[in-house]
Amino acid sequence: MLVLGIETSCDETGIGLLKNKKILANLIASQEDIHAVYGGIVPELASRAHASRIDNIFKLCLKKAGCKPEEIDFIGVTYQPGLKGSLLVGVSFAIGLGYSLGIPVYKINHLHAHLSANFLNPFLEFPAIGLVISGGHTEFFYLRDHLNFTSIGKTLDDACGETFDKVGRILGFGFPGGPIVEKEAKKGDENKIKFPITLLSKDSLNFSFSGIKTSVLYYVKKNGLKNKSDICASFQKAIGDVLIEKTKRVLKKYPVKSFLVGGGVIQNEYLRKRFQDFFKSQKIKFLFPPKNLCIDNGIMVSIFTYFLVKNKIPTPKLKIEVSPTI
């Protein structure tokens, strides 16, 4: 079974080809250079860049995989959540391709896809808890199996990656700030500054990150930018404290066999280690994807599509409706 995955929900054009459970190609065209000048993603520029690149990335992906378009059996495409104009480029491309090849097109939820980046891991067992930590989302899901996801908690304000990016901006770093904050934090002392964290009510599984960002802003206004490394390390520690505390809470409420993390932020090695250290004392498998499957990519969409097809579950497909008057 050859599955093409298309991802254009934000600022990465991702195309992947998965043959059964083997990754044949996973190409990602980042738009970081386009948006960096503006200090954040400009939606109109994002959709234009997707539109001008998607065809080439698709062809390069086929070349890398050594496949012909006619060999593709199924297409999966991210249809929500995301930037409307960007999503439209991927969905239109997928529908056109599916129509011309006469094959089904499956619409895939971006957050489910982020977590499914862990589905090729042979140690995965259900039920599981999934945590998505990305630029646009921070959300817990209860996973009964590969396909049944229930949202059980999410951020009430900023997403985790968004907070990294905003702190990066406060410190005068480029966009996206997340990777730069992590790099700078390596040189700093995480115990130097105590940024207050917000855990919400006692059992809440929701998140709130805007307070940490505001504390960093006030700290910088008062003390200036002299010790950027200590600020980054202390901020990163505060984020880690929130994630681990919320993980403890979710596991107390939902006894599960695995805990999965997905999304761009889990590329952060400090946060990975915080999770790994915590799970050493737990009888639960902790799974996170390799770095190239953490950021927005096409293969995670192929993986989720693969499981939809394999489980033969009637699922909403994107229908190509041609008006009889045309």
CA angle 159, 165, 168 (to 5 degrees): 145
Look at residue 238 and give the partner it binds from Zn ion, ligand KG4, none, a contact being a CB closer than 5 to 8 Å depending on partner kind: none
Look at residue 161 and give the partner it binds from ligand KG4, Zn ion, none, a contact being a CB closer than 5 to 8 Å depending on partner kind: ligand KG4
Are 15 and 56 in contact by the 8 Å Cβ rule? The answer is no
Least spacing, CB of residue 171 vs Zn ion, in Å: 23
Closer of 7 and 230 to ligand KG4 (Cβ): 7
Look at residue 265 and give the partner it binds from ligand KG4, Zn ion, none, a contact being a CB closer than 5 to 8 Å depending on partner kind: ligand KG4
Look at residue 240 and give the partner it binds from Zn ion, ligand KG4, none, a contact being a CB closer than 5 to 8 Å depending on partner kind: none
Least spacing, CB of residue 165 vs Zn ion, in Å: 13
Least spacing, CB of residue 29 vs Zn ion, in Å: 15
Closer of 139 and 165 to ligand KG4 (Cβ): 165
Closer of 2 and 11 to ligand KG4 (Cβ): 11
User: Contact positions toward ligand KG4, by CB under 6 A?
Assistant: 10, 134-136, 161-162, 164-165, 176-179, 182, 263-265, 267-268, 295-296
Least spacing, CB of residue 140 vs ligand KG4, in Å: 16
Closer of 153 and 298 to Zn ion (Cβ): 298
Least spacing, CB of residue 285 vs ligand KG4, in Å: 22
Q: Which residue is nearest to ligand KG4 (CB)?
A: 264
Strands (E), the chain: 2-7, 12-19, 22-30, 74-80, 105-109, 128-133, 138-143, 149-154, 258-262, 285-287
Distance CA 183, CA 168 (A): 11
Closer of 159 and 193 to Zn ion (Cβ): 159
Closer of 74 and 304 to ligand KG4 (Cβ): 304
Least spacing, CB of residue 266 vs ligand KG4, in Å: 8
Look at residue 129 and give the partner it binds from Zn ion, ligand KG4, none, a contact being a CB closer than 5 to 8 Å depending on partner kind: none
Least spacing, CB of residue 319 vs ligand KG4, in Å: 26
Identify any residues that bridge with 259 across adjacent strands, giving them in sequence order.
Answer: 129, 286
The residue type of 181 is V
Give the tokens for residue 43. 């939606």
User: Contact positions toward Zn ion, by CB under 5 A?
Assistant: 134, 296
Distance CA 166, CA 170 (A): 6
Q: Specify burial of residue 84 (Cβ count, 10 A radius: 0-12, 13-18, 19+).
A: exposed
The b/e string for 218-252 (b: 16+ C-beta within 10 A; e otherwise) is ebbeeeeeebbbbbbbbbbbbbbebbbebbebbbe
Closer of 104 and 136 to ligand KG4 (Cβ): 136
- Which of 225, 227, 226, 199 is closest to 212 using CA atoms? 199
Distance CA 294, CA 263 (A): 5
The conformation of residue 37, written as its DSSP 8-state character, comes to: T
